Structures are given as C-alpha cells and as structure tokens.
C-alpha cells in the first residue's frame, strides 16, 4: 500500500507497477513488445499519423485551445528572419542569411497525447470519508500540481503558473512509446455518423475483422472524424463534426471492463476524446468523461486524440492486416499535462 493512499478506486491498478509509478501501462512496452512491433514490418511502408499542427483551425472545437502562434526571434533589434549579416553590420565578411523562429503551442490543440495529470477525480483515497483531488496512483493535487499563482491572463491569453510536478508527459516520453499497435476500423462498419460504440458492437467489429488485441498492444480506432477536419480546411463547422462524431461509449461498464482486462497499453483515436462526448447523463455525482477517468485516473492508460488514421486504415484493410509498428513519443517537456505528437506507423 502506498503512503499516499489507504484505499484505491474500485477497478483501478494503483500500486501494481510500484508505489511511485508514473508510467502506468507504458510499463508494458517491454523490449519483447517492441520486437513484436518490428515483426509486423513487412513492406517497409511508413505513414504519418498526425494532422498539421494548425488543424482543426480556430477554436470552435475547444474554445480554450488556440492554433499555434509562430514568431521570429529578435537579433540586433530586428526580426531574425531573412537576416543578412552583411546588411546588419554584424560582420561584413559573413554571407549567411539566417531564419530563426519560435512558436506558442496549446499542447492539446491538434494530434496529441493526454498525460495522467490531464484528468484526475474526487476520491477518498485516505479513507477519512472526505473526497480529495487525486490523480493516477494516488498522487494528490497539492503534491504534484502547482496551482496558478494568480488569476490574471497573460498577454498570450492564458494563465501562468501551472505545472505537473508528477505525472507530467515527460514520463511517457522517457518510455519511448514504440511497440505493436492494432487498428480497429470502426468507420468501415458504421460509416460517417454520430454514435457511441459499446462493448457488444466493438466485439462484433473485432470478430468480423479478425482483430486480436494482446496485453501491451496499443489500440487505434479509425472513426473518420479527422477526415472531416481536413475537408473543412481550418474553417470548422461544428454541426458537420458533430454529425461525424463516432466514438467509444464511456458509460458502458462492459467496455470499461474490457479495457481493464485487455491489458491495452494506450487507446488512440482520430476523433476528439476517444469517447463520445457529452456522455449520457446520470443521476448523482459522476464523471463527465467516464472513459478518461477510467483510463487516465484508474488504470494509467494514455489517450491519443485527433490522430490522422485514414491512409493507414485503408492500406491495412486492403492488405488484410490490422497490426503494425507504432512509434509515437510525445515531447519530452517536463511538467506538461499533454503534448503534440507526430506518430509514425510502419507496416
């Protein structure tokens, strides 16, 4: 039992990977699992699984997340872009022309990973009858999250001071995130529609496509949602997106139990949130994002969102395959609760 908690949430795996674990099921990406992924490489063909980082466009998908802002660095009082040493007078003998820029990125704007610090829950971990704010493996908010020091917006339109002292995305990056992944093609069976896919329907899809998922595999769900994002060309129509919102049913207890029993290392989708949101309303106190709570808070299963899976899914179906090598580390950015990703699939 960890000194941070006396009881763990029902159905959780807190402590199974050690009392101070911060990697969750990334621990299952062993050298053997990496070799299983490499064994799936038959054609040497590679697929980029990320959208351009300035997609979806605007902030209509999530009003709190904005497109990247690029800017030139400063040099000798000028923008360090197409900077000519000779004209600047820094050294008349130099012929270099330099461009150097920076970027402000909302880390979960486009293709992304969620860290375990992204979603916690109110849970009575110390058994005193009072729920406290807790994250995966019993890390408390006061122990691992530095709250904003003030409530004034910075010039960038965001608050300053937040940092994950534990469970930051760097823990995932340090595990390298490379191994065998499995494609589950929901779009091929349900088409472009708004639908919450539960356990029974998921099992029928997997049986029809002869999909087998083993402990330590990463599961990818192709829904077609990001295809609509690309079709809109950064001009987001939320009605079109909502009509194409195909995702997992986070309120289905059988589905959540399947995630637990399967030993899946990560859940990845080309939609927003992996699960369909908003989830069905329930009476009493309950999580608004039940699959997020189950995966990030209880099991230590990372979620990948808004990936680009169409070309890979189509190739795998045409070649009667569903397994591949996935390489998908996040940024090694200490303290971040999420990260952009540029995943690569090799088949």
Task: Give per-residue pLDDT as tens, 157-176.
Answer: 555 567 788 999 999 999 99
Give the integer Cα–Cα distance in Å for 301 and 298: 8
Torsion of CA 27, 201, 250, 56, to 10 degrees: 80
The pLDDT assigned to 146 comes to 67
Quick: pLDDT tens for 218-248. 999 999 999 999 999 999 999 999 999 999 9
Contact 215, 221 (CB under 8 A): no
Q: How large is the average pLDDT for residues 267-272?
A: 98
pLDDT at 88 over 80: no
Contact 123, 132 (CB under 8 A): yes
DSSP structure class, residue 313: H
Query: Residues spanned by CATH 3.50.30.50 within the chain?
Result: 24-61+106-346
In this structure, are residues 70 and 78 in contact, taking their beta carbons and an 8 Å threshold? Answer: no
Contact 212/268 with Cβ under 8 angstroms? no
Higher pLDDT, 303 or 153: 303
The answer on pLDDT for 208 being more than 70 is yes
pLDDT exceeds cutoff 60 at 289: yes
How many other C-beta atoms are found inside a 10 Å radius of the C-beta of residue 89?
A: 8
Contact criterion met (CB below 8 Å) for 302 and 113: yes
pTM of the model: 0.93
Dump pLDDT digits (tens) for 123-132.
999 999 999 9
Dihedral sign computed on CA atoms, order 74, 77, 78, 80: negative
> Number of C-alpha atoms within 13 angstroms, CB side, residue 246?
23
The tokens for 330 are 């996040």
Instruction: State residue 96's pLDDT score.
Output: 81
Contact 46, 39 (CB under 8 A): no
Q: Determine the Cα–Cα distance for residues 146 and 136; give it in Å rounded to an integer.
A: 16
- Torsion, Cα 58 61 65 70, to 10 degrees, reads -30
Cβ burial, residue 113 (10 Å; 0-12/13-18/19+): buried
Q: Can you tell me the distance from the alpha carbon of 149 to that of 180, in angstroms, rounded to the nearest whole number?
A: 42
- Say whether pLDDT at 156 is over 60: no
Residue written as tokens 């769900």? Answer: 221
The single residue listed with the structure tokens 């980082």 is 53
Residue 111 forms beta bridges with which residues?
Answer: none
Q: Is the pLDDT of residue 83 over 80?
A: no
User: Does pLDDT of 270 surpass 80?
Assistant: yes
Please provide the CATH number assigned to the domain covering 24-61+106-346: 3.50.30.50
Residues near 318 by beta carbon (within 8 Å), at least 6 away in sequence: none
d(CA 309, CA 300) in angstroms, rounded, equals: 24
């Amino acid at each position: 039992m960890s000194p941070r908690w006396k009881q763990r949430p029902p159905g959780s795996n807190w402590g199974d990977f050690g009392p101070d674990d911060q990697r969750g099921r990334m621990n299952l990406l062993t050298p053997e699992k990496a070799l299983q992924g490499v064994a799936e490489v038959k054609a040497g063909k590679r697929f980029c699984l990320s959208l351009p980082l300035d997609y979806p466009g605007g902030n209509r998908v999530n009003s709190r997340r904005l497109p990247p802002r690029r800017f030139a660095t400063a040099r000798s009082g000028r923008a360090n872009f197409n900077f000519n040493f000779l004209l600047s007078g820094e050294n008349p003998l130099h012929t270099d022309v330099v461009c150097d820029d920076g970027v402000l990125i909302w880390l979960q704007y486009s293709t992304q990973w969620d860290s375990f610090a992204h979603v916690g829950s109110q849970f009575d971990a110390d058994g005193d009858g009072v729920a406290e704010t807790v994250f995966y493996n019993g890390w408390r908010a006061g122990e691992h999250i530095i709250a904003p020091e003030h409530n004034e917006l910075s010039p960038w339109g965001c608050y300053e001071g937040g940092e994950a002292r534990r469970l930051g995305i760097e823990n995932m990056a340090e595990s390298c995130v490379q191994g065998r992944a499995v494609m589950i093609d929901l779009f091929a069976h349900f088409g472009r529609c708004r639908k919450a896919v539960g356990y029974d329907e998921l099992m029928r899809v997997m049986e029809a496509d002869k999909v087998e998922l083993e402990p330590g595999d990463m599961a990818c769900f192709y829904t077609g949602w990001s295809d609509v994002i690309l079709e809109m060309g950064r001009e987001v129509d939320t009605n079109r997106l909502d009509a194409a919102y195909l995702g997992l049913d986070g309120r289905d207890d059988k589905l959540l139990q399947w995630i637990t029993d399967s030993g899946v290392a990560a859940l990845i989708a080309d939609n927003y949130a992996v699960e369909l949101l908003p989830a069905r309303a329930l009476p009493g106190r309950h999580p608004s994002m039940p699959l997020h709570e189950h995966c990030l808070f209880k099991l230590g299963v990372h979620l990948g969102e808004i990936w680009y899976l169409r070309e890979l899914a189509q190739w795998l179906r045409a070649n009667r395959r569903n397994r591949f090598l996935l390489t998908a580390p996040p940024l090694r950015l200490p303290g971040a609760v999420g990260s952009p990703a540029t995943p690569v699939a090799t088949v």
